[in-house]
Amino acid sequence: MAGPVFRRPRITLIVILLISLSLLTASYRGEPPVITSAKGLVRNVVTPLRQAATAVVSPVYDVVAGAFEYSSVKAQNQRLQSEVATLKNRRFADQGAQAALNSLTATLHLSYAGSIKSTAAQVISYTPSNLQLSVEINKGSHQGVHVGNPVVAAYGLVGRVVAVSADSSTVLLVDDPNFAAGVRIQPSQQLGLAVGQGSARSLSVQLVDPGTVLKKGEVAYTSGLQGEIYPPGIPVGRVADAYTPPGALQEHVDLTPVVDLARLYFVSVLDWLPAGTP
C-alpha cells in the first residue's frame, strides 16, 4: 500500500509539468482566455515547487562553492607565506653581505697602523677549543703572511699569527689564555701587561701599581716597548673595572676587547715583526 502513496506526488508533479509544457507550446499559437487562466493556475502551482527546489539546492551549491573558494584562499595564503619567507631570507642575506662589506671597508682604513703595510684576509672558520682560541684566515705564505704578524680589525687588535700554510693561517685571539701584550693605558700613561682569560671573558692587566687611578672606558693601547711583539698604538681594550684589592701588590684591572671577537668577517694582517726576528 505504501508504494502507490509515495508515488502519487511524483506522478502529480509530472502531470503538472506536462500540462505546463503544453500550455507553453500553445502560447506560440495564440492564447484563448481559458488557456491564460490555466497558465496562471499552473504558475501558482509550479512557483512554490521551484522555490522549494531552489531552497534545497542553494545550500549544497554554497557548500561546494565555498569548498573551492577555501582551497583557493589556502593555496594563495601558502604562496604569500612562501614569498614573505623568501623576502626575509633575501633581507637577511643582504644584511649579512652589507655587514661583511662594512667590515672589509673598515679594515682597509686603519689610522692607527700608520705606514705599516697590511694584507686583508677573510675569516673562514673559528677553532675554539680547550687548548686554543683562534680563527683561520684565507691568507698564508703565498700572500706574504708570516708567523708573528699582528692581526687587526677596524677597531683594534685581534691577535697574532701562530701558524702559516701556503694559503691559510691560524690567528691566536687576544682572549686566549696564552695571549699577552704590553699595553699603555691612556690618558694616565700607566703601563701593564694585558693577558687573555678565556672566551667571553675580559682581559686582565697585570703589573699595574696599586692605587693607580683608572676610569672606566679608558683605552689601553699596545705599548710597543723594545722587545714587544706588537707595534705601538694599536687599541686593545677599554677599562671595564679597576680597584685595589685589600693587601694586594698590584691593581686589579679588567679590559673589554675593542674588537667583537665573535663577529669577525675580515681582518688585516700587518706586515710587521719585532726587531731582530729572523
Query: What digits encode the pLDDT tens for the residues 199-245?
Result: 878 999 999 999 899 999 999 999 988 778 999 999 999 999 999 99
pLDDT at 102: 58
CA distances from 192 to 49, 205, 221 (A): 103, 6, 10
Alpha helices in 108-116 (DSSP H): none
Query: Would you tell me how many other CB atoms lie within 10 Å of the CB of residue 179?
Result: 19
CA distances from 196 to 35, 37, 49, 107 (A): 111, 110, 93, 23
Residue 48's SS3 state is helix
pLDDT > 70 fraction of the chain, expressed in percent and rounded:
62
Cα–Cα dist 182/71, whole Å: 70
- Per-residue pLDDT tens for 242-273? 999 998 899 999 999 999 999 898 999 999 99
pLDDT at 28: 47
User: Which of the residue ranges 89-93, 189-193, 225-229, 250-254 would you say has the lowest mean pLDDT?
Assistant: 89-93
- Per-residue pLDDT tens for 129-157? 767 899 999 999 999 999 999 999 989 99
> What would the grid cell of residue 113 be?
697602523
CA distances from 123 to 154, 219, 266, 271 (A): 14, 26, 6, 18
Cα–Cα dist 118/149, whole Å: 10
**Dihedral (Cα; 158, 117, 99, 181), 10-degree rounding:** 10
* Residue 118: its H or E element: strand 118-126
Closest CA to 187 of 155, 219, 152, 151: 219
- Above 50 in pLDDT, residue 6? no
pTM of this structure: 0.63
pLDDT at 277: 72
- Above 80 in pLDDT, residue 121? yes
Residues 116, 268 contacting (CB under 8 angstroms): no
pLDDT at 98: 56
Greater model confidence, 79 or 33: 79
Mean pLDDT of 39-56: 54
Residues 103, 153 contacting (CB under 8 angstroms): yes
Domains and CATH numbers, the chain: 2-66 (no CATH), 111-270 (2.40.10.340)
